[in-house]
Amino acid sequence: MKFRMLFMTLALFAIVFTSCEDNNKKEQELQAEKERMEEMEAEKKAEMEAEKATMEMESNSIAAKAMETDTLSTLVSALKSADLAVMFKSEEGPFTVFAPHNAAFNKVDKATLESLMKPENKEKLADVLKYHVVAEEVNSQALVQKIKDNNGKYELNTVGGGTLVASMEGDKVVLTDENGKKATVVMADVDASNGVVHVIDAVVMKKS
C-alpha cells in the first residue's frame, strides 16, 4: 500500500513538473515571439523614418532648389546630361555650388556648349560643372570674411580640381577662374539640405 501511494505521489509530481516545464516553455516562446515582433516593428519604424528623412533631404536638396529656379534651367539640363543631378539630390555633401544662370550659359560659345552637351562629351561637361563646386558649405558671410582675412583674395579648391579665387569688387563677391575670367555672385545663400547655392553671371573654366 505504501509502495502504491509512493508511486502515485511520484507520478503526480512528474505530471505537475512536466506541466510546469511545458508552461514555462510556452511562456518563453511567447516572450521570444513578442520580442521578435517588437524588434520587427522597431526596424520597420526606423526604415520609415529614414525614408522620410531621405525624402525631406532630397526635396530640399541643391538639385531640387535648382529645378525650382527658372533661371537655372540650363544648369539643370547640364547636370542631367553629365549624370550629376543625382549627386546633388542624394549625396549629403555639404557642397557650395556657384551656379551659372541661363544668361551666363548664353555667353558661352554656342558650338562649344552644344559640343559639351553631347553624350560622348559627358565627362568633359562633368569636369566643367564640378569646377563650380566646393566640397564644403561656405555661405556669403563666411566667404566675405575669408576674403578679408586673406588680404582681399581667397582661394577655393573645387571638386573638379583647380582653383577659383574669390575677391570683392565693391560689395559684390567676384570669382576669377584660372584663365582670368570673372564671374560675379548675383544671388547668394540659397540654402539647401546638402549645402548652399550662389548664383553667378558667368561660366568659369579651368585652365586647359
Rounded Cα–Cα distance for residues 17 and 20 (Å): 5
130 within 8 A of 159, measured Cβ to Cβ: yes
Asked if residue 45 is part of any domain, the answer here is no
> Which of 176, 150, 179 is CA-nearest to residue 98?
176
Residue 12 counted as domain residue = no
- Looking at the domain assignment, is residue 130 inside a domain? yes
CATH number at residue 153: 2.30.180.10
Q: What type of residue is 76? A: V
Domain extent for 172: 60-200
- Cell 551659372 appears where? 100
Ramachandran area for residue 96 (φ above 0: left; ψ -120 to 50: alpha; else beta): beta
Sequential pLDDT tens for the chain (208 residues)? 555 565 565 555 556 555 555 566 666 777 776 677 767 776 766 666 555 554 555 567 888 888 888 899 999 889 988 888 877 877 777 999 999 999 999 998 888 888 888 889 999 999 999 999 999 999 999 999 999 999 999 999 999 889 999 999 999 999 999 999 999 999 999 998 889 999 999 999 998 7
pLDDT of 15 reads 60
Residue 147 domain-assigned (yes or no)? yes
195 located within any domain? yes
Distance set, CA 13 to CA 2, 10, 21, 163, 184 (Å): 16, 5, 12, 87, 92
Q: Residue 25 domain-assigned?
A: no
Alpha-carbon distance of 11 to 126, in angstroms, equals: 84
- Say if 69 falls within a structural domain: yes
Residue 112: predicted pLDDT: 87
pLDDT at 54: 46
Question: What whole-number distance in Å separates Cα of residue 37 and Cα of residue 206?
Answer: 57
**Which cell numbers hold the place of 202?**
558667368
Residue 169 Cα to chain centre, angstroms = 32
Q: How many domains does the chain have?
A: 1
Q: In the chain, where does DSSP find H-type helix?
A: 2-59, 62-68, 73-81, 85-90, 102-106, 110-116, 122-130, 140-149
114 located within any domain: yes
